[in-house]
Structure 1
C-alpha cells in the first residue's frame, strides 16, 4: 500500500509541475490566465489513506497588466468580460486577447482567423445596439458626397452701422453693410462659396441676402433673398419671432447635372452690439466624397471608419460577454475558452454596461502569471516529488530487509 500512496503522490506532483510549467510557458501570452491545481486525499474504508488525487484545475481570471502598444488594432479589456469570436469552423469562443488584424475583405480577425463579433451598424453609421450579434466587417466602399442642407452662422452685427435705403445689389458694396463667406457642398460634393450679405434697413433690423458661386465651370451664380433679422433693444434676436433666426426653403438653383441646393439657415446666437461685425461660429452638414483611410476603436467598442474628407462613420460596436462562473469555462487553446454548463450562459452587452469593463484601444492585457509565485510553487512541487520518491526507496529497503531474514 505504501508504494501506491507514493505513486499517487508522484503522479499528483507531476501534474502540479505540469500546471506550473504551463503557466511559466505562457507568461508572455497576451490575455493568458494562470491555473492552479487542487488535490484531495483518497480513503477506501480504511484508517490509513490510499494517497492523493487531483480534484480540480482552477483558472485565475484576475486582471492582467494593461500595456500600451503602437497599434490601433490592439484592444485590452479593463475590467470584467471576454471578447466574443466566431472561429473558422463556425463555433463560438471567448478570449481576453484583442490583437486584431483586418483581412483584404475587411474582416477583423485574430491570429488564428477567428472573427471578433459585435453589434452591426446601418449605412448611416447608426449602431443597432441590442440587436443580433454578427462578425465585424469594415465595408470597403468610399463615403459618397452629401449636399449641404443646414448652415448655422452666429455673428455680431455692428449696431453703429448706418441704415441703407438703396436696393440691394451684390455687385455694389454700397448697398450692404457687411458680408461673410461660408463653404457649402453641392449634390456632387463640389465645394461652393456662399456669400451672405447683411444690410441694415432700420434701427434694429437687418436684411439678409445670399449668393452661391464657385464650383464647376457650369455651376453658375445664384442670388437669393433670405429674410430679415430683427433685434431687441438689448441687441439680441427677438425670441417671439420663430422665423427670425431660421430661414427655410432657401433654394439656390444649379445647372445641369447638379441638383438645386435647399439650405436651411440658422442665425441663432447672432447679436447686434456696438462692436465690429464679426463671425463667431459657422457649422454646415455637407461634405465631399471621401476614401476610407483607416479605422479606430473607441472605449465603448465602437469601430469608426475614418475617411479622407475628415468624416467618420461607425461600422459596428464590439460587444463583451460575461459569465456567472468564469472558472467554469473550458480552455480550447489559441487563447480561447468555450462555455460549459458550469460557466452558465453568456451575458452579452456593450462595453461599460452592467459589470462589463471598458475597452482600452492601443493596448494589450498581459498574462496574469506571477513568475515569483510560480517559481516558488515549482520548487515546492519538486521537493514533494523527491519526498515521494524517498518514500518508495524507504519501502523498498524495508522489503529487502524482510526478504533477507
Structure 2
C-alpha cells in the first residue's frame, strides 16, 4: 500500500512542477495569468472502520486554479495598446470560426479593411454608437474604422479613451466615434477555459459574460498606450519550484524505503 500512496504523491508533485514550469515559461507573455495546484488527501474507510485507526492512502489534484490578479502595466506609447486597470476582459471574435474569446492582452492593430484585431486576427468587439458617440445598443459588433469620412477625407489615426470610446481621426481634422469597447465580466472567472494565446472561453462553470462599458459598475477604466504584462512573479515561482522539487524527492525516497523494507522481508531466513 505504501508504494501506491507515495506514487500518488509523486505524480501530484510532477503535475505541480509542470504548472510552475508553465508559469515561468510565460513570465513575459502579455496578459498571461498564472496558475497554482491545489491538493487534497484521500482516505478510505467504511462504516465499520475504527476512526482512531484510519490512515490516509495518498493525495490527488483537487484543482489547478487560475489567478486573475492584475499584472504589471507597461507603457508602450502605441495608441492601440490598451490595458484594463481593474476588472474585465476584452472580447474578440475569430472572423473564420466565429468563436468568441476573452483576453486581457490589449495589443491591437488595424488591418487593411479597417478592423481592429489582435495578433491572432480576432476582431475586437465594441458597443454600437449613434452620431453623437453615445451607445445605441447592447449587441456587440466588430470595431471597423471607415477608410474615409463623409467628406471623403482619409483616415489619419485612432485613439481609445479611458471610457472605451474608439475615436478615428481624419486628414481634414475631424473625428468620429466608431464604437465603445465592451468589457466582459464573469460570475466565476476561475471557471474560464484556457484557449492559449492568453485567451479564454466561457464555460458552464464561469457563467455567461456580462458586458459593460469601461469605468462603469465593476469594470476597470482603460489605459491607452499601455499593456498588462504577465502576473507571474519569478521569485515566488522559483521558491515554489524548490518546494515542489523537495516534495517530489521526498515521495521518491519513500518509495525507495518501501522497496528496501520489502527486499529485507524477502531475504529473511527461517
Instruction: Identify the TM-score tier after normalising by the shorter chain.
Output: over 0.9
Alignment check: 8 A CA contact 2:125 2:142 kept: yes
Spell out, residue by residue over 1:349-381, the C-alpha distance to the aligned partner (whole angstroms, 9 max, x if none). Answer: 111110000111100001111111100000000
Correspondent of 2:67 among 47, 50, 60: 60
Matched, 1:384 2:255: no
Provide the rounded CA distance (Å) in 2 between the counterparts of 1:121 and 1:48: 64
Alignment check: 8 A CA contact 1:143 1:291 kept: no
Spell out, residue by residue over 1:118-138, the C-alpha distance to the aligned partner (whole angstroms, 9 max, x if none). Answer: 11234x463434431111111
**Structure 2 counterpart of 1:350:** 213
Alignment check: 8 A CA contact 2:129 2:137 kept: no
Alignment check: 8 A CA contact 2:30 2:230 kept: yes
Provide the rounded CA distance (Å) in 1 between the counterparts of 2:254 and 2:77: 55
Task: State the secondary structure of the residue aligned to 2:56.
Answer: coil
Kindly report structure 1 stretches of 4+ aligned residues shifted beyond 2 Å: 124-131
Gaps of at least 5 residues in structure 2 are: none
Residues 27-106 of structure 1: pairs in structure 2 closer than 5 A: 27-45=27-45, 47-87=54-94, 88-106=96-114
Residues 5-404 of structure 1: pairs in structure 2 closer than 5 A: 5-45=5-45, 47-87=54-94, 88-122=96-130, 124=131, 126-144=133-151, 290-404=153-267
Task: State the secondary structure of the residue aligned to 1:72.
Answer: coil
Tell me the TM-score normalised to structure 2 length.
0.93
Which structure has the highest helix share of the two? Answer: 2
Provide the rounded CA distance (Å) in 2 between the counterparts of 1:131 and 1:357: 19
RMSD: 1.3
Spell out, residue by residue over 1:207-236, the C-alpha distance to the aligned partner (whole angstroms, 9 max, x if none). Answer: xxxxxxxxxxxxxxxxxxxxxxxxxxxxxx
Spell out, residue by residue over 1:372-403, the C-alpha distance to the aligned partner (whole angstroms, 9 max, x if none). Answer: 11000000000110011101110111111111
Spell out, residue by residue over 1:301-327, the C-alpha distance to the aligned partner (whole angstroms, 9 max, x if none). Answer: 111111112111111111101112111
Which structure has the highest strand share of the two? Answer: 1
Structure (1 or 2) with the larger CA radius of gyration: 1
Gaps of at least 5 residues in structure 1 are: 145-288
Alignment check: 8 A CA contact 1:125 1:315 kept: no
Aligned residues: 260
Provide the rounded CA distance (Å) in 2 between the counterparts of 1:78 and 1:66: 9
Provide the rounded CA distance (Å) in 1 between the counterparts of 2:154 and 2:23: 46
Provide the rounded CA distance (Å) in 1 between the counterparts of 2:114 and 2:11: 49
Spell out, residue by residue over 1:247-271, the C-alpha distance to the aligned partner (whole angstroms, 9 max, x if none). Answer: xxxxxxxxxxxxxxxxxxxxxxxxx
Provide the rounded CA distance (Å) in 2 between the counterparts of 1:82 and 1:291: 31
Provide the rounded CA distance (Å) in 2 between the counterparts of 1:103 and 1:346: 27
Tell me the TM-score normalised to structure 1 length.
0.62
Alignment check: 8 A CA contact 2:36 2:65 kept: yes
